[in-house]
Amino acid sequence: MRSNSSNIRVRFAPSPTGYLHIGGARTALFNWLYARKLGGVFVLRIEDTDIQRSTQESIDAIIDNIRWLGLDWDEGPILQSQRFHAYGGYAERLVREGKAYISEEKKGAKPAVILKRTSDLIVVDDLIHGRVEFDPEVVGDLVLMKSDGTPTYNFACVVDDSEMCITHIIRGDDHLSNTPKQLVLYRALGLTPPQFAHVPLILGPDGSRLSKRHGATAVGQFREEGILPEALVNFLALLGWSPGDNREMMTLEHLVASFSLERVSKKSAVFDAKKLAWLNMQYFKLRPTAEIARMALPYLEEFGVLPEEIPLPRLEAVVRLLGERFRNLRELAEKAHYFFTRTVRIDDTLFEKHLQKENAAAAIREVTGRMRALEEFTPESLEREMRAVIAERGVKAGELIQPVRVAVTGRTETPGIFETMALLGKEAVLARLEDALGRCGKRAAQGENG
């Protein structure tokens, strides 16, 4: 546990009924930033009172992803299910004091404990929204303990937050309507409520609350795509908050230094995947090549390249050559895998367009010959030979380079062709050029016969 200079205590309390969501991650981040900024304590509490839907797998995944984001906690994880004993006493006390009553016996089930309604105006003093008033009638009678003997969410939440001495509850806007219920509970229990800060929701591009139908929404999915944690954290921080000085790229340290609840927006924010992609690219620029190469290894597998067929130094050279041509690791693998395969596949339309053109075969045949004679297979020597052929035939550079690019890589967009071929190596380049020439010949023969 780290030393704390304030008595601020915040918590992140996910319910383990699924994976860690983008919205949850941002709530966790804001809580963490607040605690770290003010020297407070960050508590991780797992709200697993819904035993039907809560799973251990989900708990593990949530914890794993919080760590991956670079966040840590000072206390917990505390499982609510381990605290079932704590709630009954409070409920009994409220009954004893005449503030709650026991529901009518339903056959076969235990009676529920229900808090009687109050008539006092309920005022939420929200750190982000300011003063919000609620008619106590919207709360009505409140179930505390359900017929199955477990506490309701709002009751467990209040008891836990109080016992854990939580001073600030930072959570999603969707809970603002829950707050009057909790306030009523604090009042009934004679407890001082914590400060509330309701942060805006994260929306999908269509303006409705972000959900699965908008595509990737779980932290784990972004992780799998090859999004860097620092990029995701940075992006999330900018959703509903800004430093106010036009800064875009910020590390966790920067965020801690400049974070404040006063600068959190009231307006919900639309998740912009393109901006995330851009940020991710920016962060890739800051990562050492060797590190990126190591991270890319498993992604190459998805393209049928076995990790043992990938010498790390060679992969590093590929990553270096790729430069800024990828926005996530999956994209990197997609643009790198042809460096590791024996042959390339060129689909018909591509072949048609670039290799069936007038004189393409003849030109390729000529460069192939020149390359075969090359002692040194370097970007310089390759460029020299290619340029010679280009000059000789009086064509534009692209007219030779594009067909060669397609023949050698199977795609129209690659890093510089000379560097690409040099890295591919003489043997592979010649083999691929000859494959292409063979296919040209076959096509030509077919054309003549048919």
Q: Which of residues 82-141 bind RNA (CB under 7 A)?
A: 103, 106, 109, 112, 129-130, 132-135, 138
40/363 with CB nearer RNA:
363
Q: Which residue has the tokens 């304590």?
A: 41
Nearer of residues 40 and 170 to RNA, judged by Cβ? 170
Helix (H, G, I), strand (E, B) or coil at 205: coil
Closest among 113, 133, 213, 221 to 177, alpha carbons compared:
133
Residue closer to RNA by CB (options 40, 222) is 222
Q: Which is nearer to RNA, 4 or 92 (CB)?
A: 92
Between 388 and 397, name the residue whose CB sits nearer to RNA.
397
Separation of alpha carbons 314 and 318, rounded Å: 6
Ramachandran class of 39: left when φ > 0, alpha when ψ lies in -120 to 50, beta otherwise? left
Residue 236 CB, nearest approach to RNA (Å): 10
Decide if residue 258 touches RNA (CB under 7 A): no
- Residues 178-197 within binding reach of RNA (CB under 7 A): 178
Q: Is 197 helix (H, G, I), strand (E, B) or coil?
A: strand
State which of residues 7, 177, 260, 343 lies at the interface with RNA (CB under 7 A): 177
Number of chain positions touching RNA (CB under 7 A): 76
E strand or H helix at 419: helix 417-424
* Residues 326-385 close enough to bind RNA by CB under 7 A: none
416 near RNA, rule: CB under 7 A: yes
User: Considering only residues 204-243, where is the footprint of RNA by CB under 7 A?
Assistant: 207-209, 238-242
Interaction of residue 200 with RNA, rule CB under 7 A: yes
- Identify residues 30-59 at the interface with RNA (CB under 7 A): 47-50, 53
CB 361 within 8 A of CB 330: no
Of 67-75, 82-90, 300-308, 393-401, the segment contacting RNA by CB under 7 A is: 393-401
355 near 419, Cβ under 8 Å? Answer: no
Binders of RNA among residues 299 to 318 (CB under 7 A) are none
Kindly state whether residue 423 participates in binding RNA, applying the rule CB under 7 A: no
Pairing of strands 41-46, 9-12: parallel
The CB-of-308 to RNA minimum distance in angstroms stands at 29
Least Å distance between CB 307 and RNA? Answer: 25
97 or 206: CB nearest RNA: 206
Beta bridge partners of residue 142, listed in sequence order:
115
Grouping H, G, I as helix, E, B as strand and the rest as coil, residue 168 is strand
**Could you say which residues in the range 14-33 bind RNA, by CB under 7 A?**
15, 17
Q: Which of 106, 212, 275, 396 is catalytic?
A: 212
Give the residue from 232, 138, 215 showing the smallest Cα distance to 176: 138
Which of 86-94, 271-279, 360-368, 435-443 is the region at the interface with RNA (rule: CB under 7 A)?
Answer: 271-279
Between 103 and 289, CB nearer to RNA? 103
Interacting span for RNA (CB under 7 A) from 62-70, 200-208, 298-306, 354-362: 200-208
Q: How far apart are CA 73 and CA 67, in angstroms?
A: 9
Q: Which of 71, 203, 346, 406 binds RNA (CB under 7 A)?
A: 203
Asked if residues 282 and 231 have their Cβ atoms less than 8 Å apart, the reply is: yes
Based on the residue annotation, tell me whether 442 is a catalytic residue of this protein.
no
Q: How far apart are CA 450 and CA 444, in angstroms?
A: 10
Residue 377 CB, shortest distance to RNA, in Å, is 15
The residue within the footprint of RNA, chosen from 39, 89, 215, 244 (CB under 7 A), is 244
Q: Give the one residue of 84, 186, 278, 377 binding RNA; rule: CB under 7 A.
A: 278
Beta carbon of residue 75, minimum distance to RNA (angstroms, whole number): 18
Contacts of 80 (CB under 8 A, 6+ apart): 45, 46, 47, 48, 49, 156, 160
Residue 317 CB, nearest approach to RNA (Å): 16
CA dihedral 402, 405, 410, 413 (to 10 degrees): -70
Of the pair 42, 134, the CB lying nearest RNA is at 134
User: How many Å apart are CA 224 and CA 209, to the nearest integer?
Assistant: 23
Q: How far is the CB of 21 from RNA (least distance, A)?
A: 12
Nearest to 141 by CA among 154, 126, 150: 154
Q: Work out how close the CB of 294 gets to RNA at its nearest, in angstroms, rounded to a whole number.
A: 21
User: Which own/partner contact pairs does 351-357 have at CB distance under 8 Å and 24+ positions apart?
Assistant: 351/406, 351/436, 351/439, 354/402, 354/403, 354/405, 354/406, 354/407, 354/412, 355/403, 355/406, 355/407, 355/436, 355/439, 355/440, 356/440, 356/443, 357/399, 357/403
Catalytic positions are 212
